[in-house]
């Protein structure tokens, strides 16, 4: 995993992120890697030693996209403290890129083609193949007869409900400390206000990560220890295609 540290405060109104981009397998610096803040499409590039500085970032949660030649893209959701500097070592996996470019012999396909996957759910499908976390498709949700999000996920391993009286119950991960509620990411954006109340009829996929050992790097943050619930809705924005 990448190493995260918070340095001392500095006088700018916003926050700042600095660090290095390196090859995960060799530890070598990656030059000319692009670090793009998705919200406002501002970007910086790493120098020959892999170092970068991303200035004037509004405090709070930001999503970044890291791209470099011959490496798979990496998405990160980070929580930047107000008026401070976040130091981050970003690791890109060159071995995955090597596997994707390996030459293969011809294959004769005789089985029927699998059903098409929504372009928006490519990240969902990619993470589902890792075996980390728990995943529900729209068919799973419909078959369960769930009336709300809580109904859909509370039977999953490591998920429970915490109730205050009889009127209000919230989801909590069994391994999380008491009163520590998970982060909700709705259509790739952190949304802890609306997330728990997303109408189940609008949901087409759910990812549940019950603790730090399950949470993918793109969803890691200060509260990842409380777990993360990722919700995909049918009305979410289309996935942005990479520029040529």
Tens of pLDDT along 8-29?
444 445 789 999 999 998 999 9
Q: What is the pLDDT of residue 154?
A: 86
- SS3 for 147? coil
Whether the Cβ atoms of residue 102 and residue 244 lie closer than 8 Å to each other = no
Other C-beta atoms closer than 10 Å to the C-beta of 130 total 9
**Whether residue 46 has pLDDT greater than 90:** yes
pLDDT of 4 above 70: no
Per DSSP, what are the bridge partners of residue 208?
Answer: 134, 229
Q: Return the pLDDT at 175.
A: 86
Q: For residues 171 and 125, what is the distance between their CA atoms, to the nearest angstrom? A: 24
Residue 222 has pLDDT above 90, yes or no: no
- Region 212-229: mean pLDDT is 82
Supply the pLDDT for residue 97. 55
Contacts of 66 (CB under 8 A, 6+ apart): 21, 33, 34, 35, 36, 73, 74, 75, 76, 90, 92
185-204 pLDDT, tens digit each: 999 888 988 889 999 999 99
Which is nearest to 200 in space by CA: 148, 127, 243?
A: 148
- Count the Cβ atoms, other than its own, within 10 Å of residue 163: 10
Instruction: Indicate if the pLDDT at residue 34 is higher than 90.
Output: yes
Residue scoring higher pLDDT (164 or 128): 128
- Burial of 106 by CB count in 10 Å (0-12 exposed, 13-18 middle, 19+ buried)? exposed
Mean model confidence pLDDT for the chain? 83
Question: What are 139-160's pLDDT values in tens digits?
Answer: 999 999 999 999 999 889 999 8
Q: Is the pLDDT of residue 7 over 50?
A: no
Residue 80 pLDDT level (bands cut at 50, 70, 90) = confident
What pLDDT, on the 0 to 100 scale, is given for residue 206? 95
**Residue/partner pairs of 122-128 with CB below 8 Å, 24 or more apart:** 122/239, 123/75, 123/188, 124/205, 124/207, 124/230, 124/232, 127/207, 127/216, 128/207
């Amino acid at each position: 995993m990448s190493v995260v540290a918070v340095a001392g405060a500095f006088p700018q109104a916003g926050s700042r992120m600095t660090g290095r981009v390196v090859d995960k397998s060799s530890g070598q610096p990656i030059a000319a890697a692009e670090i793009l803040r998705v919200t406002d499409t501002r970007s910086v590039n790493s120098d020959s030693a892999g170092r970068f500085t991303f200035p004037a970032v509004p405090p709070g949660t930001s999503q970044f996209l890291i791209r470099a030649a011959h490496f798979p893209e990496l998405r990160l959701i980070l929580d930047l403290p107000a008026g401070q500097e976040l130091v981050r070592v970003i690791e890109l996996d060159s071995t995955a890129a090597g596997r994707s470019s390996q030459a293969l012999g011809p294959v004769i396909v005789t089985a029927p083609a699998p059903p098409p996957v929504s372009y928006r759910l490519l990240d969902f499908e990619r993470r589902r193949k890792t075996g980390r976390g728990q995943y529900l498709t729209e068919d799973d949700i419909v078959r369960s007869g769930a009336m709300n999000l809580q109904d859909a996920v509370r039977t999953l391993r490591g998920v429970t409900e915490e109730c205050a009286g009889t009127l209000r119950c919230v989801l909590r991960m069994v391994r999380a400390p008491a009163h520590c509620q998970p982060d909700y990411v709705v259509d790739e954006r952190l949304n802890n206000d609306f997330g728990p109340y997303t109408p189940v009829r609008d949901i087409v996929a759910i990812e549940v990560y019950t603790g730090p050992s399950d949470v993918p790097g793109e969803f890691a943050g200060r509260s990842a220890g409380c777990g993360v619930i990722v919700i995909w809705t049918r009305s979410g924005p289309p996935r942005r295609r990479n520029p040529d």
